[in-house]
């Protein structure tokens, strides 16, 4: 495992493969870079894959993020530049989709394409019929969960977050003990991330600036609200396409890695620049 220093932060990463385009994997909340384990080796066959722990996750360290989405995007920019792995295809899960979109608008020279799975951008619903009320309900729910975290009710908050994005009831109780312990370890970082309005409501002007190819994926079994957010984002992007993953939910790289990998590699390799 390698690391870089970015001011007071230390970001740990691993690389796989040495040919083809660079691909950066950005993990979501409540997990770390190990969540990509099932797809790393196959992706590294034809691509240069970078998997890293975001600040505060896994081995990576650093101060609390003031503006989580932009700070995470800056950390990734520093990592790509330090390793020379750019312009990169960004593959992002959940919250990390907001990070990828931010980097694509702040530092477009570093990004070749994006593949985003179910970014929870609830603010996209605001312009839909009854959408504004749904957005407010979601924001109040997030604040209630953040309050639980601050008051020490971490397991209750973590259970609620996990169950919200699950395709079936009782998801938290079905998780292996190690996964539950990891989620509990990171719930404070989730609370930090979702204090940032940009985590749920992207800048409309910034979305208009994204012209690179973007693959939006959603699980066939994901909650309808989560799927709707992916549909709206795909429609808002000038070069976005949407694909549903059969039999999958919010974490297809963990629960349906073969199906997810097939869709992802098709998208990436169509845009791969062969090494001369």
What pLDDT, in 10s, does the model give residues 30-61? 999 999 999 999 999 999 999 999 999 999 99
13: exposed, middle or buried (C-beta count within 10 Å: 0-12, 13-18, 19+)? buried
Q: What sign for the dihedral angle of Cα 100, 220, 125, 122?
A: negative
* For range 223-246, the mean pLDDT: 93
156: left (phi over 0), alpha (psi -120 to 50) or beta: alpha
For residue 220, which of 108, 118, 88 has the smallest C-alpha distance? 118
Q: Residues 82-132: pLDDT tens digits?
A: 999 999 999 999 999 999 999 999 999 999 999 999 999 999 988 787 788
* For range 244-254, the mean pLDDT: 95
Q: Residues 97-108: pLDDT tens digits?
A: 999 999 999 999
Q: Work out the percent of the chain whose per-residue pLDDT is above 70.
A: 98
User: Which stretches of 107-256 are DSSP H helices?
Assistant: 131-150, 154-164, 171-174, 177-193, 204-209, 224-236, 252-255
Q: What is the pLDDT of residue 183?
A: 96
Distance of CA 276 to the CA centre of its chain: 32
Q: State yes or no: pLDDT of 227 exceeds 60.
A: yes
Name, in order, each residue with C-beta under 8 angstroms of 262's C-beta and a sequence gap of 6 or more: none
- Domain segments of the chain as ranges: 2-121+202-270, 131-193
Name, in order, each residue with C-beta under 8 angstroms of 239's C-beta and a sequence gap of 6 or more: 210, 211, 212, 213, 214
Tokens of 276: 């001369």
* For range 257-272, the mean pLDDT: 91
First to last CA, the chain: 28
Tokens of 156: 């209750």
For residue 216, which of 233, 199, 202, 204 has the smallest C-alpha distance? 233
Q: State yes or no: pLDDT of 202 exceeds 90.
A: no
Q: Work out the percent of the chain whose per-residue pLDDT is above 90.
A: 80
| Domain 2-121+202-270: assigned CATH number | 3.40.50.1820
Name, in order, each residue with C-beta under 8 angstroms of 8's C-beta and a sequence gap of 6 or more: 62, 63
């Amino acid at each position: 495992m390698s690391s870089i220093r970015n001011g007071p932060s230390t970001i740990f990463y691993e690389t796989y493969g040495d040919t083809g385009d660079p691909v950066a994997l950005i993990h979501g909340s409540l997990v770390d870079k190990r969540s990509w384990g099932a797809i790393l080796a196959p992706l590294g066959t034809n691509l240069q894959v970078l998997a890293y722990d975001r600040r505060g996750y896994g081995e990576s360290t650093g101060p609390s993020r003031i503006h989580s989405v932009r700070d995470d995007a800056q950390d990734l920019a520093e990592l790509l530049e330090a390793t020379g792995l750019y312009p990169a295809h960004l593959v992002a899960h959940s919250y990390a989709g907001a990070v990828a979109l931010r980097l694509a608008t702040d530092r477009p020279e570093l990004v070749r394409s994006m593949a985003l799975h179910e970014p929870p951008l609830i603010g996209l619903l605001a312009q839909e019929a009854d959408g504004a009320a749904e957005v407010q309900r979601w924001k109040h729910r997030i604040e209630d969960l953040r309050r639980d975290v601050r008051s020490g009710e971490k397991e209750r908050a973590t259970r609620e977050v996990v169950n919200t994005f699950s395709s079936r009831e009782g998801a938290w109780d079905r998780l292996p003990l190690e996964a539950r312990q990891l989620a509990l370890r990171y719930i404070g970082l989730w609370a930090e991330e979702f204090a940032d309005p940009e985590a749920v409501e992207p800048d409309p002007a910034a979305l208009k600036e994204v012209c690179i190819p973007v693959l939006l994926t959603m699980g066939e079994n994901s909650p309808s609200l989560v799927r709707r957010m992916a549909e709206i984002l795909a429609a808002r992007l000038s070069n976005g396409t949407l694909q549903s993953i059969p039999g999958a939910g919010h974490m297809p790289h963990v629960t349906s890695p073969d199906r997810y990998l097939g869709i992802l590699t098709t998208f990436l390799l169509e845009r791969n620049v062969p090494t001369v």
